Amino acid sequence: MPKIKVDQATLGMVLADDVSSSTGRLLMKAGAELSEGFEQALLTWGILEINVVGEAAAAGVRNAEGDEALNEEELLKVREQLLPIFAQADLNHPVMEELLRLAVLKRVQQNG
């Protein structure tokens, strides 16, 4: 059963497994079709990944992802731009390191 990221799923895909929130509340049942607004709803509940039916559909998503692989050079450039914000932060701390990585990703996606 292929697992894909919620933001890469598309309308009409069918869930292979039940989706539950972190507290165990059932949100969507296996077999349900993704309809309008699913991405927002799932992210609001903290769901990042879902299992969908069909190898082909998920493989297609994964290939597309490979094509859009982020440009290393671009990432480094943005990282340099953002470093001043983190100038006084201890980048050896995993939280700061992760926040810098996420800030770079967000900026690159905004630019793109």
Partner 1 sequence: MDEPKEPLKMEQVIAQTSTVCSPPLIYQRLNELINHPHCSVKDISRTISEDQGLVARILKLVNSPMFGCFSKVDSIDRATTIIGTQQLRDLTLAATVMQNFKGIPETLLCMTDFWRHGICCGIVSRNLAILLREQNVEQFFVTGMLHEIGQLVIATSMPNQMNRLLSSNREQGETYTTTERRFLGFDHAELGGSLLDSWRIPQNIAEPVCYHHTPLDSKLFPLEACVIHLADTICQAMQFGSNGERGLQSFKPSAWDHLGLPLSSLEIILKQSIPQTEETFSILEDSA
Using CB under 8 A, list all residues that contact partner 1: 7, 22-23, 40-41, 43-46, 48, 85-90, 93-96, 98-100, 102-103, 106
Min CB(56)–partner 1 separation in Å:
26
Which of 23/56 has CB closer to partner 1? 23
Q: Are 22 and 42 in contact (CB under 8 A)?
A: no
Tell me how crowded residue 53 is: count the other CB atoms within 10 A of its CB.
16
Which of 33/55 has CB closer to partner 1? 33
Min CB(43)–partner 1 separation in Å:
5
| Stated length of the chain | 112
Min CB(109)–partner 1 separation in Å:
10
Task: State the amino acid at position 4 in one-letter form.
Answer: I
Min CB(55)–partner 1 separation in Å:
26
Which of 59/83 has CB closer to partner 1? 83
CA 75 vs CA 10, 38, 79, 80, 111: distances in Å: 27, 30, 6, 9, 11
Which of 63/81 has CB closer to partner 1? 81
Please work out, in degrees rounded to the nearest 5, the angle formed at the alpha carbon of residue 82 by the alpha carbons of 90 and 66: 105
